[in-house]
Structure 1
Amino acid sequence: MLYPDQPFPVLTERLRRLEDLRFDHVYLPDHSADLRDPRHTWFDSWTVLATAALSTERIRIGTLVANQILRAPAQLAKQAIALDHLSGGRFELGIGAGIFPWDHHSVGELPWSPRERVQRFADYVAIVDGVLRGGAFSHAGTRLWARDVITVPGSRQSPRLPITVGGQSPTLVRVAAERADAWNTHGPPGATAEEVLRITAEQNTRIDRLASAAGRDPADIRRGYTIFGPWDPRAGRHGYEEIFERFGEAGVTEFVLDWPGERHAEEFERVAREVIPALRGD
């Protein structure tokens, strides 16, 4: 996970460094300002992703997660398609329900209730999914609709570029099971480390059950954990090896690490060079 909080030459150097370290993906968040402090530097993530597409060759790029508050679904899909072509078919679209009031304020809206966010989300992902496949698409939803959206070309990847659903609510987990190629969580905010682990395992099991009910093979849905909060190794309580082992036992197949900062750069590189290749079986 790379934040767009540095000058572009620094961001470009970091993108190339992540590729040199053989990470599989680099993701950017999608907010109108820095979620840690809105007064900090914060560039538009989609512009940084275009830079990533042009300055790297192998690493896959994407959003984690695109924000339904900020972008209409059909236009989000067309942005993703453009980056899929620009990157040579390396783009993955993570989508989330959004939460921060300042994102609403930036587009001239009062914040939605949690119920409104999740009710919009099912329609939102359905529209994105349909538009990504190209051609003409319409959707009549309970909260959102689209009519005769023409998309030429569609995704470079077939049948469309991959979608990740990020979030923990029952509705988002259901949408992930029914439509997504991957699900990502950082666990419920405020939960203890053991609670995050237990809830992640329970949600993984629920995705298996819901995917089967929808006629999908649960094994087709990748499961990701963004290392966060009580499990963050930079807090000194848990190491990467423990996280990979324990969440792997809970059904997680992918892990998202933050850019480390200077204090933790040596440990970050050790994990990239020694621990992750062993997990991959390289």
Structure 2
Amino acid sequence: MQRPGPPILIGGWGDRMHRLVAEQADIWYVPGPPHNLVAWIAERGRVPDDHCAAIGRDPREIVRSVQTIVSYDDAARCRKTVWESVEAGMGHIVLSLPTPHPEAWPRRLTDEIIAPVRAEL
């Protein structure tokens, strides 16, 4: 068994879940666009911060994770969403590629979304 143990990822956005995130999670996960807007995720992200303050935990200890579904039709919009997610405090971004995958998309994902965002960090 890994010591001190594997990181605990908790997904959800309800108030009781946020309390559990503050108490136990190493990573907090929430589904992002198109399911939830980045502004909404940023707003909900303040709730576990409040719970952390109440228990004396530094909220920066919790990695914020979001999944974004990639739009093959609009790489610029996806890149903007990823950047907005980073600005909203998300430190872990999952880019979900819907099937079927267009042949050129793994390279386009790197060239048009990942590399430009990393260059701005």
- TM-score (norm: length of structure 2): 0.76
Instruction: Indicate how the Cα distance of structure 1 residues 268 and 173 shifts in structure 2: closer, same or farther if over 3 A, else same.
Output: farther
From 45, 48, 53, the equivalent of 1:204 is 45
Residue 56 of structure 1 is matched in structure 2 by none
Residue 86 of structure 2 is matched in structure 1 by 248
- Whether the 8 Å CA contact 2:79–2:117 is kept in 1: the answer is no
SS in 2 for 1:159: coil
Distance 1:173 1:238 in 2: 32
Distance 1:216 1:265 in 2: 46
- Whether the 8 Å CA contact 1:185–1:224 is kept in 2: the answer is yes
SS in 2 for 1:161: coil
State yes or no: 1:186 paired with 2:57: no
From 166, 173, 178, the equivalent of 2:18 is 173
CA displacement at 1:165 relative to structure 2: 0.5
1:74-126, CA deviations, whole angstroms, 9 ceiling, x for partnerless residues? Answer: xxxxxxxxxxxxxxxxxxxxxxxxxxxxxxxxxxxxxxxxxxxxxxxxxxxxx
Distance 2:44 2:77 in 1: 23
| Contiguous gaps of at least 5 residues in structure 2 | none
Instruction: Indicate how the Cα distance of structure 1 residues 240 and 219 shifts in structure 2: closer, same or farther if over 3 A, else same.
Output: same
Instruction: Indicate how the Cα distance of structure 1 residues 270 and 170 shifts in structure 2: closer, same or farther if over 3 A, else same.
Output: same
SS in 1 for 2:41: helix
Letter in 2 for 1:210: H
Residue 213 of structure 1 is matched in structure 2 by 54
CA displacement at 1:163 relative to structure 2: 0.7
Distance 1:165 1:278 in 2: 29
Distance 2:103 2:90 in 1: 25
SS in 2 for 1:211: helix
SS in 1 for 2:37: helix
- Whether the 8 Å CA contact 2:79–2:114 is kept in 1: the answer is no
CA displacement at 1:178 relative to structure 2: 1.4
**Considering only aligned residues, what root-mean-square deviation do their CA atoms show, in Å?**
2.9
Q: Mapping of 1:10-49 within 5 angstroms?
A: none
Letter in 1 for 2:25: A
Asked which structure has the greater CA Rg, the reply is 1
- Whether the 8 Å CA contact 1:201–1:250 is kept in 2: the answer is yes
From 159, 175, 180, the equivalent of 2:4 is 159
Instruction: Indicate how the Cα distance of structure 1 residues 236 and 274 shifts in structure 2: closer, same or farther if over 3 A, else same.
Output: closer
CA displacement at 1:212 relative to structure 2: 2.4
SS in 2 for 1:239: helix
| Contiguous gaps of at least 5 residues in structure 1 | 1-154
1:128-181, CA deviations, whole angstroms, 9 ceiling, x for partnerless residues? Answer: xxxxxxxxxxxxxxxxxxxxxxxxxxx31x311001111121111221121100
Letter in 2 for 1:172: M
State yes or no: 1:268 paired with 2:106: yes
SS in 1 for 2:96: coil
- TM-score (norm: length of structure 1): 0.37
How many residue pairs match? The answer is 119
After TM superposition, where is structure 1 displaced by more than 6 Å over at least 4 residues in a row? none
Distance 2:77 2:44 in 1: 23
SS in 1 for 2:45: helix
